[in-house]
């Protein structure tokens, strides 16, 4: 298979808004098609361009998961964002987010 893929990790439906910062612009995406994994996320937004660096923010309880990433795939359905290297603290918060979604019964995507 050629090219990168974010589907090497189990994905979980994401029922929380996602803030995507591109430069100085922040876009809030609240879409039932959104999903997340330890490698990245998919957002239902078709106007993001492959290769664009982004900063992602997703609320988790009283704090937020934040990470830098890059748009890896794009289509009419949405965009796949691959997380850059995550620090141990960022990874712990991401695991907390995924655990919360799973406990609340969000389906695998």
> What is the tens place of the pLDDT at every residue in 26-65?
999 988 789 999 999 999 999 999 999 999 999 988 889 9
**Bridge pairing between strands 53-60 and 63-74:** antiparallel
Q: Is residue 1 part of a domain?
A: no
Whole-structure pTM value: 0.84
Q: Which domain, by its residues, includes 20?
A: 12-25+32-103
pLDDT greater at residue 104 or residue 90: 90
User: Which CATH number does the domain housing residue 47 bear?
Assistant: 2.40.10.220
Residues paired with 84 in a beta bridge: none
Q: Is residue 43 part of a domain?
A: yes
Q: Is residue 86 part of a domain?
A: yes
Q: Is residue 59 part of a domain?
A: yes
Mean of the per-residue pLDDT values for the chain? 87
Q: Is residue 85 part of a domain?
A: yes
Number of structural domains in the chain? 1
How deeply is 35 buried, as exposed, middle or buried, from its count of CB atoms within 10 A (0-12, 13-18, 19+)? Answer: buried
């Amino acid at each position: 298979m050629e090219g990168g893929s974010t589907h090497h990790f189990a994905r979980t439906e994401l029922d929380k808004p996602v803030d995507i910062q591109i430069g100085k612009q922040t876009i809030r995406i609240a879409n039932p098609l959104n999903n997340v994994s330890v490698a990245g996320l998919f957002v239902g937004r078709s106007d993001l361009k492959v290769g664009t660096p982004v900063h992602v923010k997703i609320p988790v309880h009283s704090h937020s998961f934040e990470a830098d990433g890059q748009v890896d795939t794009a289509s009419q359905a949405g965009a796949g964002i691959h997380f850059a290297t995550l620090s141990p603290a960022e990874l712990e918060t991401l695991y907390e987010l995924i655990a919360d979604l799973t406990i609340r019964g969000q389906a695998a995507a």
